[in-house]
Amino acid sequence: MKKWILGLTLGLWAGLASASLATHSFTLDNGLKVLVREDHRAPVVTVMVWFKAGSIDEAPFETGLAHVLEHMMFKGTEKLQPGDFSKLVARYGGSDNAFTSYDYTAYFQQYEVSRLPLALELEAERLANLQIDDDEFYRELQVVLEERRMRTDDNPNALAWEKFQAVARPGTGYAHPIIGWRSLLSQLQPEQARSWFQRFYVPGNATLVIAGDVTRKQVEPLVKKFFDDLPAGETPPRPKQTVNPPAGERRIDLTLPVKVPTLFMTYNVPSLVTAEDKRDFYALTMLSGVLDGGMSARIETDLVRGQKLVAGAGASYTGIQRGNGTFTLQAAPNPGISLDEVESALREQIKKLQTTLPSEEEMARVRAGVLAGQVYEKDSVMGQAMELGTLSTLGLDLALSEKFGDELAKVTAEDVQRVAQQWLVPERLAVGHVQPEQGEGK
Amino acid sequence: MSIELRVTSFEKHSAVQGAAWCGGLLLRVATVVSAIWLSACASLNPAANFPTTEAQVAASQPGAPVLDIQSWQTAEGAKVLFVASDALPMLDIRLVMDAGSARDGDQAGLASMTSALLGEGTKGLNVDDIARGFEDRGAEFSSSSYRDMGVISLRTLSDPEFREPVLDLFGKVIGTPSFPEEALARIRTQMMQGLRMEKQVPGPQVNKAFMATLYEGHPYGIASDGTLESLPAIQRKQLEQFYESYYAAGNAVIAMVGAVSREQAEAIAAQISAALPAGEAAPTLARATPLQSRKREHITFPSAQTSILIGNQSTWRGNPDHVALYVGNMVLGGGGFASILTDEVRQKRGYVYGIGSGFSAMASGGPFRVSFQTANENADQALSLTLQLVEQFIQQGPTDSQLEEARTSILGGFALGTADNSDIIGQLGAIGFYDLPLDYLQQFSQQVRAVGAEEIRQAFQRALNADNLAIVSIGPKAPEIVPVDEAPGSELAAVADEAGRGKE
């Protein structure tokens, strides 16, 4: 069946991903790391600043602080009134936003390329001169509480996920929600935000990414002009993350106002950062693709179409993290199918991976998807900036993407079986069942 | 067709102008995003001489690339739009048919289900063969359905070794769908589970109620993804008929962007067009009429926030006021942080995380819509304030300086709209489907340059009457219109006090 694809994999695929674009890297004296990606297809530019400061850096009493500070970065500075930042971006046709993750906080501006000097000057200004006013802080905290209501409190699946994460990743910074536990979030104080800013928002803890219709020659003097004078400050220490010992099998049963039950299963596994043997990362990536790499992968073929147990299901390996990774399965059963039945079917899928080697066709298909995906990803300038920022912030090889295909090609069916046996074991598993309230969802 | 299960969906922007970006292999991370959006505004008073680069930036002429769109008709009457781009070894194809839920008739969900079953089977190939056929070669196939349109998308590597077998399969999948009974039953169940899941959260419920309120009796009022009552009644025969009528070559636009030559593009378009059923463009639908008096709808739901939508039928594709409404709306609520609504309702009072407004022009009508969510205790104030701001804007229009800010913003950001192949294919699909001139983007920017404040005010008054706006809400109780609290400053102490005590 379609043996020819194997030939293709070795020959044609090899030439594809090598259409790589120029990336330049330099570091200022104060420690700011600068990455420049040249993509001259259109006269646009994306400017991002990434900080190694995310919700996993929060102490237990200050959950939500990284994200609240992110909101405050759009308020006042020495030279800007609250709101002026985004208004200036808008006036010159740009868009701006930011996002806070477990591992980092990142800011971006996107423009037509002649706006580059403005983008850099604005970023430098808030990094040098942010001012956190008490009244502004409290008002913005109300906005963040609205954000929490919208995203989590009024969405029972999101609420369930939040509770499940606390059980699925015990004893790590990933156990608390990025947006913060409601009661602690609402008690945050302006002084905590100021101290967070002073601690983490120093040049040595940041990466500036500029991607688009630019050259290093054009960018470097501008960057120096606006960022060279920032004092180096002290770069906060970062503990080395290692693979955790198994936490033991855990279960959580939730009754919430859902109309359709949901199943979560998470295994605690190594990430690319924490894996002692980096091949485990690539093998887990292949394993994830075999289970859920598209409509032809096992979950869609066996569970959705074959056994018709679930209306929707998915598996994903989150292996690009500062701490350990997760391998997560989620499913919503069809009417009349219990969560226990779905859980058994998913455990059966894991067992199959542990006992039977995946076929060469499956392995080739996963690699095809990944390699083609690398070409498609280059269509987005923002996507390229995101990739560079993530890799830099996690201390990973910037050329990871280029090497990805080769690394995946080295993974054998035996490797996939081995990581399934080694990591997808009960003592690394958390299971969550979310059931509707009485009388619902029948 | 998939049910959204990934609850780690913090990576999307706020509901106001959701634009999901990115998401490669490396980027499956949970993030919380604050809603800071394209904006345009007046009253900017940064400290003197800051930013030092502003004069330079203001003086530079922003580049606005002109798309070289090539267009022709296939022998069967499909309209083709093509942009050659060899920067990346890939090809995007998008078919846009007049096959949206506006064509459902009395069978809500028919268009949606027809679309969902494409790719589930074709002559001689079952769904497994099809899925493997695309995925073995790294190709991405999808179909989706909206009110006006049925859309089929294909992304493939452009090298002929990949492209040719993928296009061959694509032709079979879209040209001879078999609508297997097994797939119909399975997808019906999935869609019904999807509808049940929507009832868990306020957003989809209030959005559906809003469209049903505005378009009662018009095809746009049909629930696009069907209802728990309508879906069980849909038969295979109806899907076949719907497909034969509305997926016809004469009812299709074929948009293409990527690394192929004009000759290759012509051959590909001819191949696709010949695969489709023969047939004409669908007949034009009657234009929807606006509500003539205020309508209130409320859904009682035990949520922490009240979600509110305000609006009316107000525009359509081809409306000569389109540019005036678009530019005016940038000032009112479409421009994110600098627009009046975000400034007053979020920035000054902290009532909402996101608030925005927009006109969405469809072929036979299109709503003006303001939407926001707010804590239940603030719902009366937030609603009353928003109504007041909208009413004021309809009466007064923008100031000259507000207009100038919006104009600079739109023109300055023009290049961003056609930067990626995925941006371009979207533009081509819309230009083709709505019969816009090939130089539509240039015409649009010329009109943005020319439009005046008084013209915008008059256009708003033609499009909207503040007394006739529908108010549709969901939450524990229906919000009421009350006198608006004037001074945001006086509330600050209370806000600080509440947060400081940890009352939340």
Which residues from chain B sit within 8 angstroms of residue A305, using beta carbons? 127-128, 186
pLDDT of amino acid B48:
60
Distance from CA of A360 to the nearest CA of B (A): 12
Q: Do B29 and A101 touch (CB under 8 A)?
A: yes
- The answer to whether residue B4 scores a pLDDT higher than 80 is no
Residues of A classed as catalytic: 70
| pLDDT band at residue B9 using 50, 70 and 90 as cut-offs | very low
Per-residue b or e along B112-144, where b marks 16 or more CB atoms closer than 10 Å to that residue's CB: bbbbbbbbbbbeebebebbbbbbbbbbbbbbbe
User: What is the CA A290 to chain-centroid distance, rounded?
Assistant: 21
Q: Do B504 and A330 touch (CB under 8 A)?
A: no
Q: Is the separation of the CB atoms in B297 and B470 below 8 Å?
A: yes
pLDDT of amino acid B503:
31
Q: Cβ of B487 under 8 Å from any chain A Cβ?
A: no
CA distance A242 to A275: 8
CA distance A49 to B306: 35
Structure-model confidence comparison of residues B37 and B440, the more confident one: B440
Of A153, A189, A305, the CB nearest to B186: A305
H-helix segments, A11-155: 12-16, 65-72, 84-91, 116-129, 134-148
pLDDT of amino acid B205:
98
Of A82, A84, A110, the CB nearest to B416: A110
Cα–Cα–Cα angle for B352, B356, B357, rounded to 5 degrees: 145
- The answer to whether residue A1 scores a pLDDT higher than 60 is no
DSSP B124: T
Taking residues B246-259, what's their average pLDDT? 98
| pLDDT band at residue B27 using 50, 70 and 90 as cut-offs | very low
pLDDT of amino acid B338:
83
pLDDT of amino acid B355:
97
Q: Which percentage of chain A shows pLDDT scores above 90?
A: 91
CB contacts < 8 A, A to B, total: 396
Q: Which of residues 110-129 of B touch A (CB under 8 A)?
A: 119, 127-128
Q: Cβ of B228 under 8 Å from any chain A Cβ?
A: no
Q: Cβ of B286 under 8 Å from any chain A Cβ?
A: no
CA distance A354 to A307: 21
Distance from CA of B365 to the nearest CA of A (A): 29
- Judged by phi (left if over 0) then psi (alpha if -120 to 50, else beta), residue A3 lies in alpha
Distance from CA of B468 to the nearest CA of A (A): 28
Q: Do B135 and A365 touch (CB under 8 A)?
A: yes
Of A19, A114, A161, the CB nearest to B7: A161
- The answer to whether residue A355 scores a pLDDT higher than 50 is yes
Taking residues A410-420, what's their average pLDDT? 98
Of A95, A122, A365, the CB nearest to B136: A365
pLDDT digits (tens, 9 = 90+) for A99-114: 999 999 999 999 999 9
Q: Is the dihedral of CA A305, A307, A311, A316 positive or negative?
A: negative
Which residues from chain B sit within 8 angstroms of residue A399, using beta carbons? none
What is the chain A residue with the closest CA to B401?
A91
Q: Which of residues 143-172 of B touch A (CB under 8 A)?
A: 155, 157, 159, 161-162
Q: Which residues contact B138 (CB under 8 A, 6 or more apart)?
A: A368, A369, A371, A372, A373, B156, B157, B162
- Tally the residues of chain A: 442
Q: Is the separation of the CB atoms in B278 and B78 below 8 Å?
A: no
Q: Is the dihedral of CA A376, A379, A383, A389 positive or negative?
A: positive
pLDDT digits (tens, 9 = 90+) for A214-262: 999 999 999 999 999 999 999 999 888 999 999 999 999 999 999 999 9
Q: Do A383 and B409 touch (CB under 8 A)?
A: no
- The answer to whether residue A288 scores a pLDDT higher than 60 is yes
Helices B322-329 and B440-450: crossing angle, nearest 10°?
70
B306, two tokens: 């009240």
Which residues from chain B sit within 8 angstroms of residue A97, using beta carbons? 13, 33-37
- What residue ranges in A278-346 does DSSP mark as E strands? 310-318, 325-333
DSSP per residue over B383-427, as a string? Answer: HHHHHHHHHHHHHH---HHHHHHHHHHHHHTGGGGGSSHHHHHHH
**Interface with B, mutate which of A379, A396, A437 (most B CBs under 10 A):** A379
pTM for the model: 0.91
Q: Which of A342-351, B128-137, B334-343, B353-362 has the lowest mean pLDDT?
A: B334-343
CB count within 10 Å of CB B15 equals: 18
Q: Report the mean per-residue pLDDT for chain A.
A: 94
Which residues from chain A sit within 8 angstroms of residue B415, using beta carbons? 42-44, 112-113
Of B64, B139, B420, the CB nearest to A379: B420
CB count within 10 Å of CB B325 equals: 26
Q: Is the separation of the CB atoms in A101 and A54 below 8 Å?
A: yes
What is the chain A residue with the closest CA to B489?
A135
Which residues from chain A sit within 8 angstroms of residue B54, using beta carbons? 88, 118
B401, two tokens: 């300086």
Q: Cβ of B138 under 8 Å from any chain A Cβ?
A: yes
- Do strands A250-256 and B121-122 pair parallel, antiparallel, or not at all (unpaired)? unpaired
CA distance A206 to A209: 10
Of B29, B161, B193, the CB nearest to A332: B193
Q: Which residues pair with A254 in a beta bridge?
A: A434
Distance from CA of A47 to the nearest CA of B (A): 14
- The answer to whether residue A9 scores a pLDDT higher than 70 is no
DSSP per residue over B436-463, as a string? Answer: --TTHHHHHHHHHHH--HHHHHHHHHHH
Q: Do A112 and B190 touch (CB under 8 A)?
A: no
Structure-model confidence comparison of residues A238 and A82, the more confident one: A82
pLDDT of amino acid B105:
96
Helix (H/G/I), strand (E/B), else coil: A265 = strand
| pLDDT band at residue B65 using 50, 70 and 90 as cut-offs | confident
Which residues from chain B sit within 8 angstroms of residue A112, using beta carbons? 62-64, 412-416
Query: For A168-203, what is the HEC assignment?
Result: HCCCCHHHCCCCCCHHHHCCCCHHHHHHHHHHHCCH
Which amino acid appears at position A359 of this protein?
Answer: S
Taking residues A128-152, what's their average pLDDT? 97
Taking residues B203-219, what's their average pLDDT? 98
Nearest alpha carbon to residue A289 among A242, A342, A327, A331 = A327
* Domains of chain A with bracketed CATH: 23-228 (3.30.830.10), 250-436 (3.30.830.10)
CA distance A145 to A184: 11
Q: Report the mean per-residue pLDDT for chain B.
A: 88
- Do strands A105-112 and A95-101 pair parallel, antiparallel, or not at all (unpaired)? antiparallel
A264, two tokens: 């979560």
Taking residues A67-74, what's their average pLDDT? 97
Q: Do B63 and A186 touch (CB under 8 A)?
A: no
Q: Do B29 and A321 touch (CB under 8 A)?
A: yes
Q: How many CA atoms lie within 13 A of B457 on its CB side?
A: 13
Q: Do B502 and A187 touch (CB under 8 A)?
A: yes
| pLDDT band at residue B422 using 50, 70 and 90 as cut-offs | very high
Nearest alpha carbon to residue B187 among B112, B132, B237 = B112
Q: Which residues pair with A23 in a beta bridge?
A: A37
End-to-end CA distance of chain B: 39
ipTM of the complex: 0.93
- The answer to whether residue B444 scores a pLDDT higher than 80 is yes
Which residues from chain B sit within 8 angstroms of residue A65, using beta carbons? none
Which residues from chain A sit within 8 angstroms of residue B10, using beta carbons? 151, 178-179
pLDDT of amino acid A239:
87
Of B7, B25, B50, the CB nearest to A373: B25
Q: Which percentage of chain A shows pLDDT scores above 70?
A: 95
Taking residues A403-414, what's their average pLDDT? 94
Helix (H/G/I), strand (E/B), else coil: A21 = coil
Helices A84-91 and A116-129: crossing angle, nearest 10°?
170
**Using omega within 30 degrees of 0 as the cis cutoff, is the peptide bond preceding B51 cis?**
yes
Q: Cβ of B65 under 8 Å from any chain A Cβ?
A: yes
Distance from CA of B208 to the nearest CA of A (A): 17
B364, two tokens: 């036979």
Which amino acid appears at position B84 of this protein?
Answer: A
Q: Which of A154-163, B16-25, B403-412 has the lowest mean pLDDT?
A: B16-25
- The answer to whether residue B7 scores a pLDDT higher than 60 is no
B31, two tokens: 């993030």
DSSP per residue over A326-343, as a string? Answer: EEEEEEEEPTT--HHHHH
Q: How far is CA B185 from CA A330, B37, B179, B230, in A?
A: 22, 42, 10, 14
- The answer to whether residue A417 scores a pLDDT higher than 70 is yes
Taking residues A41-65, what's their average pLDDT? 97
Name the phi and psi angles at B465, rounded to 5.
-130, 120
What is the chain B residue with the closest CA to A309?
B186
